[in-house]
């Protein structure tokens, strides 16, 4: 994996001053020498300044005009961002600057950019009555991937690889591999330079992974496809090994001691990295004081050390269906930092005082030490909550849950969106074969933890703003009205009429009206796709989905580098760098998070499809309830709500009539009309693992008497 080099620690102000200078309305383009004078760059830092400008050009932070003078992309009518392609051949530019709106890019306007690349684009004039913002790629800045994974094929003229990534529709022409050529096998391809969309995409095979259906090749392909790390550098492992396992008495003495207050954790049954723990007290005046303890990773991972450089590069832990690719070595992630029961652990703690209505009265922060007495799984905590409290343990969990539910009600009353869904856990056997799909409901035990984590993230963001320190925030901007209108039409077609979704109250009404119905998950997924993606930013722009003005990530430093940085900002005198450095870091972390999310989702989807492929081969065909999401000329797009799987019911036999104006398919024989929102019984027809697609067929009506 290409590792971004850590930013040099600048003693001068010019690194942070460049961006604000270029953004000034009265700024006039300057060449390098004039810009250095304007920013007050000392003579001894000229080389560093030149390197800094070159890096800014590579990432789109600055541009040059026709006279080679430095300007911002915005001043040239350009926008920098990542190209996110759709499997249908079009894409969107996701702007690097959160203040910039995303826009649509047609397939013919992508130039030589591929899915995920960092590019420069310009807006195109609207056509006719078109309201959607359209653009075109004008320059490639950085390739997201230098390697692709696919199946090696050969035609009469040359070898080629068809990428697994459906959002890269081009085959890669490759050099003749060493004999014997692994035709039909999954291979890793190193891409060559590709500067013209009119030329073929070329590369060479660097590794053969094996037959597509060989055990383990599927997930190994995902690891190579996303260029995920498989081991830690030796220096990182050595630094972790050298950390003492025992906490010194001197370190404990300088911290606030929370070991005498009852503390517990709630996590999934298979979790090993416990980031957070909870304690509480009822104060004499009836106020509720909650202690939100977070693993003190910053004590062990200090800036610019090998551990820190590697954690920053990875950005976050990645949870594939069969393994974890951790941000930190196991000694830290599952050991010294993990808030395990019955051992002393170092923490950063947010102490928040709430009144009975859940209103924040005060908050403070402390470096502390805890001794967790109980590790709950979610199921164990839920069992306690479903019973009347008869023990001190039960009473503590019930008291915490009552306050969590109070906070939850306040949050929704203030406009937060309930977008939580059940998780589908794929259970594998020893050979990696999926044996069952298990639905993990999002219940009160999850809500208990979530509300206090949201509370901690909120008060930390508020404190950073109060101190006027450069920070990293978790932001979720207001959605694009055009995307909301498209989703509104989709929801209406599914049988969920709704009002003007640019008003958050109407979105909340839609979510409430779909609750408990077959289309609930489809509505939530469709809404999520129409909203902007939450990202990291040095600007505190608020969080639309959570309806919070102040929000950051503080509560998961074992698995998110952003949280580790926020710990440093909050507790260290030096902070974590200036605005410009944090801007670059926020962009890197947003990108690495997106990569991790795509890899995680693909691994789960792959194993789900493998599960249904086994169903398709079974002699006894299972029948599933499916909801029609969309009616197309080629068939019905359906979702299995129980498993959160989508697929097509193709109608290529001529037995159906597509009525475009009514958006329905009419069965010629039975005269039944199929529309979005209906529930139908389906069977698995075919599964194409190479294309990540599943086709269903309508299940036959039961015989009389059955």
Other residues' Cβ atoms within 10 Å of the Cβ of residue 651? 21
Mean pLDDT of all residues in 242-271: 95
Domain containing residue 414: 234-466
What CATH number corresponds to the domain at position 101? Answer: 2.40.50.140
How far CA 111 is from CA of 95, 414, 656, in Å, comes to: 17, 44, 39
Residue 404 and residue 455 in contact, taking contact as beta carbons nearer than 8 Å: no
Torsion of CA 404, 410, 414, 419, to 10 degrees: 40
151 and 56 in a single domain? The answer is no
User: How many whole angstroms separate alpha carbon 400 and alpha carbon 281?
Assistant: 10
Classify the C-alpha dihedral 318-324-329-334 as positive or negative.
positive
pLDDT at 114: 93
Give the CA angle between residues 635, 637, 642 to the nearest 5°: 140
pLDDT tens-digit series, residues 298-333:
999 999 999 999 999 999 999 999 999 999 999 999
Residue 589 counted as domain residue:
no
Whether 453 has a pLDDT exceeding 60, the answer reads yes
Residue 226 and residue 115 in contact, taking contact as beta carbons nearer than 8 Å: no
Q: 96, 116, 142 — which closes off a domain?
A: 142
329 and 351 in a single domain? The answer is yes
Nearest alpha-carbon partner for 487 in 419, 534, 551: 419
Mean pLDDT of all residues in 143-172: 90
pLDDT at 11: 44
Whether 575 has a pLDDT exceeding 80, the answer reads no
pLDDT at 409: 97
What is the band of 294 on the pLDDT scale with cuts at 50, 70, 90? very high
pLDDT at 120: 94
The contacts of residue 412 (CB under 8 Å, 6+ apart) are 418, 508
pLDDT at 702: 53
DSSP 287-330: -EEEEEEEE-GGGTS-TTSHHHHHHHHH-B-EE-SS-EE-SS-H
206 and 308 in a single domain? The answer is no
What CATH number corresponds to the domain at position 191? Answer: 2.40.50.700
User: How many whole angstroms separate alpha carbon 618 and alpha carbon 612?
Assistant: 10
87 and 50 in a single domain? The answer is no
Helix 234-241 / helix 306-314 crossing angle, nearest 10 deg: 120
pLDDT tens-digit series, residues 546-563:
999 999 999 999 999 999
pLDDT at 9: 41
98 and 48 in a single domain? The answer is no
Residue 175 and residue 190 in contact, taking contact as beta carbons nearer than 8 Å: no
Range of weakest confidence among 105-114, 232-241, 320-329, 615-624 = 615-624
**Per-residue H/E/C for 603-620:** HHHHHHHHHHHHHHHCCC
Other residues' Cβ atoms within 10 Å of the Cβ of residue 132? 12
What is the band of 641 on the pLDDT scale with cuts at 50, 70, 90? confident
Instruction: Tell which wins on pLDDT, 644 or 455.
Output: 455
How far CA 583 is from CA of 2, 122, 456, 547, in Å, comes to: 20, 22, 23, 23
Residue 247 counted as domain residue:
yes
Q: 466, 495, 530 — which closes off a domain?
A: 466
What radius of gyration, in Å, describes the C-alpha atoms of the chain? Answer: 27
97 and 210 in a single domain? The answer is no
361 and 297 in a single domain? The answer is yes
Q: Output phi, psi for 90, to 5 deg.
A: -110, 175
Residue 496 counted as domain residue:
no
User: How many whole angstroms separate alpha carbon 270 and alpha carbon 267?
Assistant: 8
The mean of the pLDDT values for the chain is: 90
pLDDT at 701: 61
Residue 576 counted as domain residue:
no
Q: Output phi, psi for 53, to 5 deg.
A: -65, -40
Q: What ranges in 60-118 are assigned the alpha helix state H?
A: none
364 and 455 in a single domain? The answer is yes
164 and 288 in a single domain? The answer is no
Whether 653 has a pLDDT exceeding 90, the answer reads no
Q: Output phi, psi for 387, to 5 deg.
A: -115, 155
The contacts of residue 252 (CB under 8 Å, 6+ apart) are 344, 369
Whether 3 has a pLDDT exceeding 80, the answer reads no
Residue 189 and residue 152 in contact, taking contact as beta carbons nearer than 8 Å: no
Q: How many domains does the chain have?
A: 5
Task: Give the pTM.
Answer: 0.86
User: How many whole angstroms separate alpha carbon 353 and alpha carbon 261?
Assistant: 16
Residue 446 counted as domain residue:
yes
User: What DSSP designation does 75 have?
Assistant: G
How far CA 115 is from CA of 89, 121, 145, 670, in Å, comes to: 10, 14, 9, 44
What is the band of 2 on the pLDDT scale with cuts at 50, 70, 90? very low
Which range of 93-102, 195-204, 618-627, 663-672 scores highest in mean pLDDT? It is 195-204
Residue 601 counted as domain residue:
no
DSSP element (H, E) containing 425: strand 423-428
Residue reference for tokens 């329905």? 664
User: How many whole angstroms separate alpha carbon 307 and alpha carbon 117?
Assistant: 28
pLDDT at 705: 39
Please state whether 690 falls in left (phi above 0), alpha (psi between -120 and 50) or beta: alpha
User: How many whole angstroms separate alpha carbon 706 and alpha carbon 583?
Assistant: 64
Nearest alpha-carbon partner for 268 in 180, 382, 176: 382
Q: 466, 486, 516 — which closes off a domain?
A: 466
Residue 633 counted as domain residue:
yes
pLDDT tens-digit series, residues 594-605:
999 999 999 999
How far CA 31 is from CA of 46, 61, 65, 70, in Å, comes to: 13, 15, 10, 6
173 and 196 in a single domain? The answer is yes
Residue 696 and residue 682 in contact, taking contact as beta carbons nearer than 8 Å: yes
Range of weakest confidence among 113-127, 386-400, 408-422 = 113-127
37 and 97 in a single domain? The answer is no
116 and 239 in a single domain? The answer is no
Residue 511 counted as domain residue:
no
Q: Please report, in angstroms and rounded to a whole number, the separation of the first and last CA atoms in the chain.
A: 57
**Per-residue H/E/C for 140-161:** EEECCCCEEEEEEEECCCCEEE
């Amino acid at each position: 994996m290409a590792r971004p080099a850590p930013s040099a620690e600048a003693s001068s102000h010019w690194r942070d001053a460049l961006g604000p200078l270029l953004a000034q309305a009265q700024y006039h383009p300057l060449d390098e020498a004039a810009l250095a004078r304007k920013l007050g760059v000392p003579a001894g830092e000229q080389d560093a300044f030149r390197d800094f400008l070159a890096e800014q050009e590579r990432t789109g932070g600055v541009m040059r005009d026709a006279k080679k003078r430095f300007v911002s992309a915005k001043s040239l009518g350009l926008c920098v961002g990542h190209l996110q392609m759709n499997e249908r051949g079009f894409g969107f530019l996701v702007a690097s600057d959160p203040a910039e709106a995303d826009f649509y890019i047609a397939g013919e306007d992508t130039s030589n950019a591929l899915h995920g690349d960092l590019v420069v684009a310009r807006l195109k004039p609207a056509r006719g009555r078109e309201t959607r913002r359209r653009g075109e790629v004008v320059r490639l800045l950085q390739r997201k991937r230098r390697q692709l994974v696919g199946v090696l094929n050969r035609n009469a003229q040359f070898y080629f690889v068809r990428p697994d990534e459906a959002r890269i529709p081009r085959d890669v022409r490759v050099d003749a591999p060493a004999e014997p050529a692994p035709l039909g096998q999954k291979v890793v391809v190193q891409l060559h330079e590709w500067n013209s969309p009119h030329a073929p995409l070329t590369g060479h095979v660097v590794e053969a992974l094996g037959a597509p259906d060989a055990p383990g090749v599927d997930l190994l392909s995902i690891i190579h496809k996303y260029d995920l790390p498989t081991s830690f550098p030796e220096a990182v492992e050595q630094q972790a090994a050298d950390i003492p396992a025992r906490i010194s008495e001197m370190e404990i003495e300088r911290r606030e001691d929370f070991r005498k207050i009852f503390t517990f954790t709630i996590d999934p049954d298979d979790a090993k990295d416990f980031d957070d723990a909870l304690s509480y007290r009822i104060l004499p005046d009836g106020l509720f004081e909650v202690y939100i303890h977070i693993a003190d990773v910053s004590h062990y991972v200090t800036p610019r050390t090998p551990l820190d450089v590697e954690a920053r590069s990875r950005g976050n832990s990645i949870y594939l269906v069969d393994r974890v690719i951790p941000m930190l070595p196991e000694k830290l992630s599952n050991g010294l930092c993990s808030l395990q029961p019955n051992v002393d652990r170092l923490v950063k703690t947010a102490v928040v005082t709430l009144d009975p209505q859940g209103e924040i009265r005060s908050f403070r922060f402390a470096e502390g030490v805890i001794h967790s007495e109980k590790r709950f799984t979610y199921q164990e905590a839920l069992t306690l909550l479903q019973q009347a409290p008869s023990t001190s343990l039960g009473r503590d969990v019930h008291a915490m849950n009552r306050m969590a539910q109070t906070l939850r009600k306040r949050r929704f009353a203030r406009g937060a969106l309930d977008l939580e869904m059940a998780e589908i856990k794929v259970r594998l056997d020893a050979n990696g074969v999926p044996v069952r799909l298990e639905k993990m409901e999002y219940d009160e035990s999850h809500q208990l933890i979530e509300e206090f984590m949201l509370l901690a993230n909120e008060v930390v963001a508020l404190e950073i703003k109060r101190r006027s320190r450069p920070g990293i925030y978790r932001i979720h901007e207001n959605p694009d009205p055009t995307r909301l209108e498209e989703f509104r039409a989709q929801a209406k077609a599914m049988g969920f009429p709704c009002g003007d979704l640019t008003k958050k109250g109407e979105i909340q009404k839609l979510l409430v009206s779909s609750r408990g119905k077959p289309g609930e998950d489809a509505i939530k997924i469709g809404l999520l796709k129409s909203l902007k993606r939450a990202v990291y930013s040095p600007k505190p722009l608020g969080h639309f989905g959570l309806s919070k003005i102040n929000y950051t990530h503080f509560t998961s430093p074992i698995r998110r580098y952003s949280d580790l940085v926020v710990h440093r900002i909050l507790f260290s005198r030096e902070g974590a760098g200036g605005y410009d450095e944090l801007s670059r870091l926020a962009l890197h972390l947003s990108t690495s998070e997106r990569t991790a999310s795509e890899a995680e989702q693909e691994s789960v989807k792959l194993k789900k499809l493998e599960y249904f492929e086994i169903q398709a081969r079974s002699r006894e065909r299972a029948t599933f309830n499916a909801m029609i999401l969309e009616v197309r000329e080629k068939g019905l797009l359906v979702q299995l709500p129980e498993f959160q799987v989508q697929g097509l019911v193709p109608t290529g036999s001529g037995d159906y009539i597509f009525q475009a104006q009514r958006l329905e398919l009419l069965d010629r024989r039975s005269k039944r009309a199929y529309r979005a929102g209906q529930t139908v019984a389906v069977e698995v027809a075919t599964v194409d693992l190479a294309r990540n697609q599943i086709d269903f067929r309508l299940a036959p009506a039961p015989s009389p008497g059955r």
